[in-house]
Amino acid sequence: MEDRSYQWKRFLVDHGQGTSLADGGFMYDPDSEWGRVYNPNAVSVEDARRTRRLVVLGPPGAGKSHLLRAEIDAAKQAGGMVFEVPDLRSYGSEGRFVS
3-46 pLDDT, tens digit per residue, is 677 777 888 888 788 888 888 888 888 899 888 899 898 888 88
Q: Are residues 49 and 63 in the same domain?
A: no
Q: Taking a C-beta distance cutoff of 8 angstroms, is the pair 91, 97 a contact?
A: yes
Within a domain: 12:
yes
Within a domain: 17:
yes
Rounded percentage of the chain residues whose pLDDT exceeds 70: 84
Q: Are residues 48 and 65 in the same domain?
A: no
What is the spatial distance between Cα 70 and Cα 73, in angstroms, rounded to a whole number? 5
What is the spatial distance between Cα 53 and Cα 27, in angstroms, rounded to a whole number? 24
Confidence band for 93, pLDDT divided at 50, 70 and 90: low
The pTM of the full predicted model, rounded to 2 decimals, is 0.61
Q: Are residues 67 and 99 in the same domain?
A: yes
Query: How many structural domains are present in the chain?
Result: 2
4 or 96, which is more confident? 4
Within a domain: 22:
yes
Domain extent for 29: 8-55
Exposed (0-12), middle (13-18) or buried (19+): which is 42, by Cβ within 10 Å? buried
Longest dimension (CA), the chain: 44
Give the pLDDT of residue 6: 72
Rounded percentage of the chain residues whose pLDDT exceeds 90: 3
Q: Are residues 44 and 73 in the same domain?
A: no
Give the pLDDT of residue 97: 53
Within a domain: 2:
no
Q: Where are the alpha helices (DSSP H) in 1-99?
A: 33-38, 45-48, 64-77, 94-98
